[in-house]
Amino acid sequence: MNFNAKVLTVSTSVAAHARDDDSGDALVEMLTNAGFTVVDRAVIADGQDEVAATLLRLSENFAGLLLTTGGTGFSPTDQTPEGTNRVLERQAPGLSEAMRATNSLGRLSRGSAGTRGDTLIVNLPGSPKAVKEHFEAVSDVLEHVLDLMAGGRPH
């Protein structure tokens, strides 16, 4: 099956063009290699209000996968999970737990996962290495989740 995906990079320095969006680039490449069609990509500064507003906009009338990268750590500006939790309708803690189990540093991610309408939203860390590890931790179930959300494989 071919599913659509969107990528949201949450980073004040990337939004200010002070550094490249390496984690967003890595995520687009991994999604494309996994058979997803990346239909939109955005970059915003850190902050839960901006995250919540952008997730609302990106998930409106969208059926597919919406991955964020950045803002999941312990820095005072890392507020991606707080913004995400404001818009999620249903939590998917198993996805976050699987990503946190990748290695000892994975436990430092506060990322959330869940659904809003027909959109599966998953927070990933901001480093390219962590993005790869966390994406690989859940990539084997993403198509199944999206298929279920679209009404496939009824139980």
SS3 category, 129? helix
**What would the pLDDT profile of 7-24 be if each residue is shown by its tens digit?**
999 999 999 999 999 999
Query: Residue 50 and residue 148: Cα distance in Å, rounded?
Result: 29
> Is residue 37 included in any domain, yes or no?
yes
Q: To 10 degrees, what angle do helices 93-100 and 128-149 make?
A: 150
Strands 37-44, 4-10: pairing kind: parallel
Mean pLDDT of the chain: 95
Q: Residue 25 belongs to what domain range? A: 4-149
Is 155 part of a structural domain of the chain? Answer: no
Provide mean pLDDT across the span 15-37. Answer: 97
Encoding tokens for residue 49?
């209000």
Flag whether 74 is in a domain.
yes
Backbone angles phi, psi at 23, to 5 degrees: -70, -40
In a domain, 109, yes or no: yes
Instruction: Say how many domains are in the chain.
Output: 1
CB atoms inside a 10 Å sphere around CB 144: 12
| pLDDT cut 90: percent of the chain above it | 92
Q: Please check whether residue 106 lies inside any domain of the structure.
A: yes
Residue 97 in any domain: the answer is yes
33 domain residue, yes or no? yes
pLDDT per residue over 40-56, tens digit each? 999 999 999 999 999 99
What CATH number does the domain containing 89 carry? 3.40.980.10
